[in-house]
Amino acid sequence: MNKNVNLLAISYVFGFTAATITVFLGAIIGSQITSIKSLSTLPVALSVVGTAICTILAAKIMSKIGRRLGFIFAALGSSAAALVATFAIYQQNFILFCISNLILGMGMAFTHQYRFAAAESVEKEKAPKAISILMLSGIVAAFLGITSSNYTKNLVSDHLYVGSYLLLAAFTFMPAIFLFFYNNNENPKIDFNNQYNGRRLSEIIFQPRFLQAVTAAAFAYAVMSYLMTATPLSMHVMDKMSLEKTGFVLQIHVAAMFLPSLITGTLIKKFGHSNIIYIGVLFYIVTVILSLFEQTYLNYMVALIFLGLGWNFLFISGTSLVVLTYKEEEKFKAQGINDLIVFTTMALASLSAGIMLSLTSWTTMNLLCIPFLVLIIYSSFRADILSKK
């Protein structure tokens, strides 16, 4: 892979720790600094909301100033937000902690654009492999973020987790250093709002393959975020499992999310996007089935492994497929609307996680995912049928 892909992969290791640390500690910290337990997952959910509301803006900014400056700007903003979160934890200020997580999520909107930047750095037929290589960096991010934040949680005496977020501020700053050497390979002067800039947005969106791609990616992230957001609260707070066990389950889950990327690109090339999407749905079904049994440490671990595998197959298939549905001059529009749909869906799912867990049970939460899996299958089947006509 070329220089850009390497720089993006290294930067993703540090930038993605914002997501792994937020998921690992956000709900736990929230439960400690608010008396309303149903709001415990709100900081995590707001980070997803931040990503959703900033997707179009992130695409637009980079269409004007280029990816390099856009990524650097986001890294600096995320580092500042982590420092605000540090102060909020120190002061036990739940509202400020929520705001800082919202801003961290906005920074993640730029980080999620790394995958498109990687795909653009190679020929289109190599896009799945480039995206897979980038996703592999997520494994390192998961173990680096979760393990180091656990070790540094007592760094500041009498202020649990302040040290974790000081570390996050350092991590999220690192991409600004590496991506200073990134080479823009697009024309930043493209007018995002120019009516002659490719097809109308509606024409792009209503392509069967675009709908298939965005449905697979959106519900892949929604189901994964919905269950992963609730996992620390369910394991550590409700089922009284240790923070170490909870953290390890999340690490294994994130490893399952990204490790298959070693072969996902090759599998997509050999068997096609739709077949890999169907397998991803099957993995999610296994997760749902496991929720019907007693919730032990081992059960959580196996369920979260299959949740990660399903996400990998669905998200990489959807992302690499959407790259094939637009022209060069349409990419910022198409990528922006794709991420808006994906992360808005994810935000709604994440926002509902804490409420649903407090009102129902882990089993019910899993069963409620089934209709979304049906929609993924339907959109893929429809696209396959229409493409043959």
**Predicted local confidence at residue 196, as pLDDT:** 43
What is the arithmetic mean of pLDDT over 184-189? 58
Beta strands in the chain (DSSP E): none
Buried b (16+ CB within 10 A) or exposed e, 322-334: bbebbeeebbbbb
Percent of the chain's residues with pLDDT above 70: 96
CATH numeric code, 3-177+203-387:
1.20.1250.20
What is the arithmetic mean of pLDDT over 201-214? 93
Task: Please indicate whether residue 157 or residue 284 has the higher confidence score (pLDDT).
Answer: 284
**Predicted local confidence at residue 276, as pLDDT:** 96
Domain ranges of the chain: 3-177+203-387
25-53 pLDDT, tens digit each: 998 899 889 888 778 878 988 998 898 88
**Predicted local confidence at residue 288, as pLDDT:** 96
**Predicted local confidence at residue 126, as pLDDT:** 79
Environment class of 251 (CB within 10 Å of its CB; exposed 0-12, middle 13-18, buried 19+): buried
Q: Phi and psi of 68, rounded to 5°?
A: -60, -55
What is the arithmetic mean of pLDDT over 138-167? 88
194: CB partners within 8 A, 6+ apart: none
